[in-house]
Amino acid sequence: MEETSQIVFPSAFCLLPPALFLRRGVRGKDSCWGIVNHVGEFSCTVKIWDGEYAVGLQHLKSYDYLPAECEQIKEISDRINRVYSDSLEETVKNLLQLLGKLNRPYLTAVEEKLLTLLESEYGRIP
């Protein structure tokens, strides 16, 4: 199937804007929001804060975000992914994980400053 940046609404198996939360299905990644990059018949590839994972459709939960909010989530997700690497200090990994599990489509002023600092510190500003 063609690569997309759309969300899967699991109960209807239809495509919606690109924001979802993982309910379960990937160990340690419950309640993370992410972007669906590929949709298959029974699973999809989801990009979350530390990489891409194959997830069963039944493990996804969509939210009724507006298209602009979905774009904000995609931008935040991309920024977190640029900074993340396995070689980071545990504190930095934990902060990125917490930002990837926020239950809202935006960063507060302090969260934005923290992410910007990490981007600057690790040379990951686009």
Please state, in angstroms and rounded to a whole number, the distance separating the CA atoms of residues 47 and 60: 13
What's the pTM value of the predicted model, to 2 decimals?
Answer: 0.69
Model confidence pLDDT, tens digit, residues 65-122: 777 887 888 888 889 988 988 899 999 999 998 898 887 889 999 999 999 999 999 8
Q: What angle do CA 32, 34, 36 make, to 5 degrees?
A: 140
Residues 6+ apart with CB under 8 A from 97: 32, 49, 50
